Structure 1
């Protein structure tokens, strides 16, 4: 998205520079018309953009992922992990990730479950794969304290990735995250149902956006603020509720339906389950209840945690000026755990079949979801 917007802005500047407000000289002849009839203005096509979103990014320590990414100088390079899915991510106008864990300082110390502080180089790999924006509110947001939270946001900033859900200051928390996507203003709000029992930092209640399932009143307030700041589309990332269960909980469903009933929320993206959960169309709007793992190494869980999906939604402006999803797609993905490396790859037929069955458990395909290869 970043390069495309810079090009679009440059073209606009060049176009304006080539125009003149001076009238034509009196003897200037009008340009001949090649039209067969009276001149008409061609109708501009409706504005449109495509968003992709993926699941949880966790870097477990001491396993194939970190060992395969370790470089001779002690640094880490995770670029190869994402290479297999990067073309799908890069083809979108807006690519959204979910960075579930804080990052450690370069060189560590690093830690994994239950309190993560992971290699900051994973953020460089996310940027290289084409991600533009990350949600950061999760049950692990404060695993490395407030310092780890700040470090994570600083690292995302340095990589050119926007973020929402965790904040360094009250002013930052009060400022809606709205980004320009192919000329459309898109707002992003994020929240988590848990901090694993870790209290919010003393004197910093703003640090993480949280909610108590199914009360999403705070999320709705944030979405309304994004609308007031000019967002034409608002996406909500919700981190909850039960792990390793393909079926969303009753509270999760209630929270999602409340969000989608609001005129301020256009799409809901779910995280935390570490397995794929269904997509559903609710009163014309879409939810991905759980996008599974985008990158993780749950070595004892089997294919459930290695099956994944890339959600892809195309938004198009209607005659009333409001945007709606005109195309909903899901790209099945698999996390390949090798002996000395981890790779994200387009799904093989068996994986695609499993993922597709889960996605359709609430009637998504009949409602218009296309399950497509990467």
Structure 2
């Protein structure tokens, strides 16, 4: 099996001071390249549905009185810049007029999918512990709604035949496959006769899915995986073990993790980039913890070399702004945020405008804390992870 991560093909340069040094992989003449943006969980809590209703009143847009466009607009400059943008749709969607449900049995407005597509996402992973919250009807509604707005999807299926298909996309002339696997909810497991509806994580199934992707001509394979423990900024032993196995026993080129709802490290494992968790792209937990509102967009640059693919990793920090709770008739405190919004942190810090010093400090905290979590397994050293500039 040919691994699609680059092997440093290098010449050695001997010096008395530092011995032999490997040089950067050399781009293949006429070689192809592309960029991938990926983010964490999209988790629509009831407060975000209420926000979409207020925004629809203001914009006059959306469908059935809900407009999620303003909620996600802040990440469009980053997401739309990528050649391939991958989201994680955590929950099933219902009908445009509801009814809707929050935790623990999510059923969210399909209008969120329009906003996801509009900010630039191309495809989404759908395997999660909430996939089967509303049974096969929820899965069918979700995938059909994704088809309607033009979003690709992988990780769940409406039929056994669909479960065998592989999501392979042409990205700048490169065939890129996207796979999605998850642990299964103990509350709403798939019935034995519907096990094909959700890609449940196992090493053998991941290996077989990659093999099918390669048979379909995939030159690059990206794996989204729902794993780990919620609200822990360090990957679990099982995450570390699976990441090591993937890097040693498969040719998968990139691993994108989610489920913890907080940011975990990005690390190169045996030459393969692993983002253990990118936190939440958008969520509004009943008890916001600060770190649950901070997320990261992973940005990965694939460059063809003589020996495969060289992958560089970058990131952008995001923050979900949450307005303070007030009683009916009360005014918001002066200088506070007024709406739920997903922001690209660096863009705000570059142009803070008339933001209060308190809010600027909050953005700085998000940038510094997220960077610390991402680097917690040594990625800024030889691995080369660094913040992404929109000017690149």
- Give the whole-Å Cα distance in 1 for the aligned partners of 2:304 and 2:30: 9
8 A Cα contact 2:296 2:317, kept in partner: yes
- Matches of 1:310 and 1:172 in 2, distance apart? 29
Structure 1 counterpart SS, 2:124: strand
Q: Deviations over 1:172-222 (max 9, x none)?
A: 1111111111110001111111223323145322100012xxx42211211
Q: Which runs of 5 or more residues in structure 1 are unaligned?
A: 1-42
Q: Superposition pairs for residues 108-123 of structure 1, below 5 Å?
A: 108-123=98-113
Structural mapping, 1:149-160, within 5 Å: 149-160=139-150
- Corresponding residue for 1:341? 339
* Alignment equivalent of 1:93, drawn from 80, 83, 96: 83
Q: Does 1:53 find its partner at 2:33?
A: no
Q: Distance in 2 between matches of 1:82 and 1:53?
A: 14
Contact 1:332 1:373 in 2 (8 A): no
Structure 2 stretches lacking a partner, 5+ long = 1-27, 58-62, 325-337, 346-362
2: CA distance between counterparts of 1:263 and 1:139?
Answer: 24
Q: Distance in 2 between matches of 1:196 and 1:57?
A: 21
CA distance in 1, matches of 2:251, 2:196: 22
CA positional deviation for 1:168 = 0.8
Question: Is the deviation greater in 182-191 or in 254-263?
Answer: 254-263
- Asked if structure 1 preserves the Cα contact closer than 8 Å seen for 2:158 and 2:197, the reply is yes
Choose the corresponding residue for 1:127, options 117, 132, 140. 117
Instruction: Tell me the distance in 2 between the aligned counterparts of 1:183 and 1:124.
Output: 26
**Partners in 1 of 2:96 and 2:191 — Cα distance?**
24
C-alpha contact 1:60 1:113 (8 A) present in aligned 2: yes
Query: Are residue 68 (structure 1) and residue 55 (structure 2) matched?
Result: no
TM-score by length of 1: 0.84
Q: What is the aligned partner in structure 1 of residue 158 from structure 2?
A: 168
Aligned length: 325
* Residue 374 of structure 2 is aligned to residue 359 of structure 1: yes
Number of the residue aligned with 2:269: 282
CA distance, structure 1, for counterparts of residue 288 and residue 340 of structure 2: 15
State the alpha-carbon separation in 1 of the partners of residues 288 and 247 from structure 2: 32
Question: TM-score normalised to the size of structure 2?
Answer: 0.80
Task: Say which SS state the counterpart of residue 273 (structure 2) adopts.
Answer: strand
Which position in structure 2 is the counterpart of 1:31?
none
Q: Which residue of 1 aligns with 2:172?
A: 182
Which has the larger displacement, 280-289 or 91-100?
Answer: 280-289
Q: Aligned-residue CA RMSD in angstroms?
A: 1.5
C-alpha contact (below 8 Å) 1:187/1:231 kept by paired residues: yes
Q: Confirm whether residue 225 of structure 1 aligns to residue 208 of structure 2.
A: no
One of 296, 302, 306 as aligned partner of 1:319: 306
Contact in 1 for aligned 2:105/2:133 (Cα 8 Å): yes
Rounded Cα–Cα distance in structure 1 between residues aligned with 2:279 and 2:133? 21
Is the contact between residue 113 and residue 146 of structure 2 (CA under 8 Å) also seen in structure 1? yes
Displacement of 1:373 after TM fit?
5.3
Bigger Cα Rg: 1
**In the alignment, is the contact (CA less than 8 A) between 1:189 and 1:235 conserved in 2?**
yes
Are the counterparts in 2 of residues 52 and 312 from structure 1 also a CA contact under 8 Å? yes
Distance in 2, Cα, partners of 1:89 & 1:262? 31
Deviations 1:55-111 (A, max 9, x none): 0001111x2x22221135852110111111101000000000000000011101100
Q: Distance in 2 between matches of 1:290 and 1:298?
A: 17
Report matched runs for 1:1-40 at 5 Å: none
Which secondary structure state, in structure 2, belongs to the residue aligned with residue 200 of structure 1? coil
